Structures are given as structure tokens and as C-alpha cells.
Amino acid sequence: MNKLFRNLSLIMLPACVSLAACNQSSDKKKTTMTDSTQTPASAFEKTIDGKQTHLYTLKNKNGITATFTNYGGRIVSLLVPDKTGKPTDVVLGFESVEGFEKSTEAYYGATIGRYGNRIAKGKFKIDGKEYQSSINNPPNTLHGGKNGYQSVVWDGKQIDSSTVEFTYLSKDMEEGFPGNLNVKVTYSLTDNNEFKAVYEATTDKKTVVNLTNHAFFNLNGEGSGTILDHLVQIDADNYIPVDSTLIPLGPIEKVQGTPFDFIKPETIGKRINDDNVQLKNGKGYDHNFVLNKHDIKTPIATVVGDKSGIKMEVYTEEPGLQFYSGNFMQAKNAMKRGVKDEFRTSFAMETQHYPDSPNQPQFPSTELKPGAVYKTQSLYKFSVVK
């Protein structure tokens, strides 16, 4: 981004209690949730649909700390130091499992599936047979339907102090999707200061799959206000225009000369209110960017918090990136700090295949066949502006 950055490897954060889901006694009282707040781990102990929820805490060797819950396979908090070394929670979330259950925004930090993003009218065909998934974003299906993966209790296993594994059997015809889909998501904090996600799945019937994570970020810290002055760069010469229901119109278009041109760093807010039909359709940015040729070793997007100096680089094996600027946040939920989720106080960078791909034959296929393994990885790397 034509700036100098330094790694966080010498900056240490306070340690957090490590909680392995099924092997911990109730005397593990507290887990650090933010730089200023402590919450009992018991706040994440609850039985939902006959399964037990838990809190898991991960830490890398540099002291970066994250917490997760198996309710929705979610990231709850992510503490990284800002340019002054202050621990900063850059992920929006709640201080209890009930907060996630009752939230008017279903996707905070969640693992998304069976199909991330939208499917037009919930309909798609596989080998000529039409399937109907549940409609939860009328007239479309969004993020897997009414009871997507964000609302189920995953089986959780803490592999080590920096890795947690979530598994889930998505049964045949759940939310209208064919095939028993065995899903595994492994979240880890690497010693390169990366929040890493590895997604795997197998099926016994041909189906469609598009997995991602829906972390809501604010690099100035949760509760710090708008994200409009965050600086964004996206390595995409093209994006996918959508209709008023956010379904792709079909053609892929150039970003050049539009408010969607983030080839060079630009603030989120500079053009977000331009007189542009696509911005009106999304009520801001809520569009899939067609990433330029890349591999997992090359960042495809970079975001810098204007106040904190925290830099986040996004890496992925996926062909697309859904950039969402918090346009539907309505201040209806109190987050970990007690601050409401006000309009445009977070953003998302969802690595994924394109929306409505099952109905758009020109897009990369999202079909998964029996005997094949769906596997993809994405990561978010943190440092600070020098």
C-alpha cells in the first residue's frame, strides 16, 4: 500500500485462560474477552438443541489472543496490539452465547454454510433436478437459509493452544440442500500473526457448497465508531453488479472509473454515497469482487485502521471477496463493550465463490460430488503501520 509496516512479533499481550471444550472443570472462572473486560467462561456454557456450547481461547507465541464458541462455529473476539501496543479487540461479538442467540444480526463471527451469499429465490438445479432452499432474505436464500450453520451447535475440539476444530454433519435436505455433508473447519492463530481458516467437506450426493467466515471487523476496536476512514485496497480489476435484491445481474464489469475501484488504497467512505445505482442497490458496498490471479501467498486485500494503525491483509484460495460495509447495522444490539452496533461501525471481507453461482453457469462451479473433497483456506494477517 506504498507504506512501511512492521511485524508484531515483539509485542506481547496478556495471556488468556485456555478452555478445551469437554475436558475443563467449572473452576475455570474467567477468560479475557477484550482489553478492558473479563467475562466468565460460564457465559458460553449452555445446552442448545440438546448440545452443549463452550468457549475456546487460542493464543499464538506472540500473545495475540482469540476466543471462539461452537455455537455457530464463531469467532467471538480477536485481540491484537495497535500502533502503541494497546490490546485492541478488532472483531465484533457478544459477551455470552445468549447474546449471539438473540442478536438481530445472525452472522456475527459465524461460520457460513451450506452456501455463503445469496441464491436467487432459493432455487437451483443439479443434473436437471430443481431444489428449493429456505427463503430468509426475501425473495432469496442468504448464507444457507433460515437455519444455516450460524445457528447450529458444532462439535468442538481444541487441538492445541493455538488451534480449534469444529465439525458438523449437515444432513441430506437440511434447508433444502441435497446430500449428507460432513464439514470440518479448523481455526488457528499462526506465529506469523495470522487468523487462519481451513474449510473441508465431503458429501454422499452431488450438492453445492460455498463456505466462509463472517467476522465483522473494526480495526480501531469494537465500539470505536465508524469504519468509513479505514483505508482499503482490493486486488480486483472486476466486480459483480447486482440487482436490487443483491442477486448478480450476470455480466462481470470493470471497477475502473467506478466507486468500486480499490486497486489503489482508498477510504471506505470517500465514494460510498456517490450517485451510483450499485451503491444504491447495496445501500453501500455489499458486492463480490472478482479477484485477480493469486495464490495463498499473496494478499488480495488490505485494510488499515485510521486510528489504531492496525493493518489487516487478506489471503485466500477463493476466487471472490464479498466486501460489506455494515450497511444494515441498526444499533439494535449491545456488543461486548456495551456499545451498540451502529450503522457502518464494522466491515466484512468474506472470502468465497461468487453469489448465486448455481444459477450462473459462467461463474466458477460450486458443485461438490461424492468422492471429492472440498478444501480451501483463507487467512487474515495482522501488523501495524510503522
65: its cell numbers? 489472543
Of 306, 288, 180, 182, give the one whose Cα is nearest residue 240.
288
> Is 110 inside a domain boundary?
no
173: left (phi > 0), else alpha (psi -120 to 50), else beta? left
Same domain? 231 vs 352 = yes
> In whole angstroms, what is the distance from residue 122 CA to residue 141 CA?
5
Q: Which of 204, 221, 248 is the last residue of a domain?
A: 204
Same domain? 279 vs 313 = yes
> In whole angstroms, what is the distance from residue 348 CA to residue 301 CA?
12
Q: Do residues 328 and 295 make contact, with C-beta atoms less than 8 angstroms apart?
A: no
**Mean pLDDT within 102-110:** 98
What does the pLDDT look like over 169-178, one tens digit per residue?
A: 999 999 999 9
Same domain? 48 vs 196 = yes
> In whole angstroms, what is the distance from residue 117 CA to residue 351 CA?
11
Question: Which residues contact residue 56 at a Cβ distance below 8 angstroms, ignoring those fewer than 6 apart?
Answer: 19, 20, 21, 67, 68, 69, 70, 156, 158, 164
Same domain? 252 vs 351 = yes
Q: Which of 188, 204, 220 is the last residue of a domain?
A: 204
Question: Which residues contact residue 208 at a Cβ distance below 8 angstroms, ignoring those fewer than 6 apart?
Answer: 114, 115, 124, 126, 177, 357, 358, 366, 367, 368
The residue from 287, 318, 350, 353 that is catalytic is 350
Same domain? 45 vs 182 = yes
Q: In the predicted model, what is the mean pLDDT of the chain?
A: 91
> Is 11 inside a domain boundary?
yes
Local confidence band at 19 (pLDDT 50, 70, 90 cut-offs): very low
Domain that includes residue 53, residue range:
5-85+148-204
Same domain? 167 vs 278 = no
Same domain? 234 vs 183 = no
Of 34, 108, 39, 86, give the one whose Cα is nearest residue 65.
34
The residue from 143, 165, 175, 214 that is catalytic is 214
146: its cell numbers? 433460515
**Which residues on adjacent β-strands are paired with residue 137?**
140
Same domain? 176 vs 221 = no
Residue 284 has pLDDT above 70, yes or no: yes
Based on the residue annotation, tell me whether 253 is a catalytic residue of this protein. Answer: no
Q: Looking at the 3D structure of the chain, how many domains does it have?
A: 2
Same domain? 182 vs 327 = no
Q: Return the higher-pLDDT residue of 30 and 357.
A: 357
> Is 181 inside a domain boundary?
yes
> Is 311 inside a domain boundary?
yes
Local confidence band at 345 (pLDDT 50, 70, 90 cut-offs): very high
Local confidence band at 38 (pLDDT 50, 70, 90 cut-offs): low
Based on the residue annotation, tell me whether 130 is a catalytic residue of this protein. Answer: no
Residue 181 has pLDDT above 80, yes or no: yes
> Is 319 inside a domain boundary?
yes
Same domain? 200 vs 295 = no
What does the pLDDT look like over 113-144, one tens digit per residue?
A: 999 999 999 999 999 999 999 999 999 999 99
Instruction: Tell me which DSSP letter residue 121 carries.
Output: G
Q: Which of 204, 223, 241 is the last residue of a domain?
A: 204
Same domain? 163 vs 46 = yes
The CATH number of residue 281's host domain is 2.70.98.10
Same domain? 138 vs 226 = yes
Question: Which residues contact residue 318 at a Cβ distance below 8 angstroms, ignoring those fewer than 6 apart?
Answer: 212, 291, 351, 352, 353, 376, 378
> Is 92 inside a domain boundary?
no
Local confidence band at 41 (pLDDT 50, 70, 90 cut-offs): confident
Q: Return the higher-pLDDT residue of 21 and 42.
A: 42
Question: Which residues contact residue 25 at a Cβ distance below 8 angstroms, ignoring those fewer than 6 apart?
Answer: none
> Is 100 inside a domain boundary?
no
> Is 94 inside a domain boundary?
no
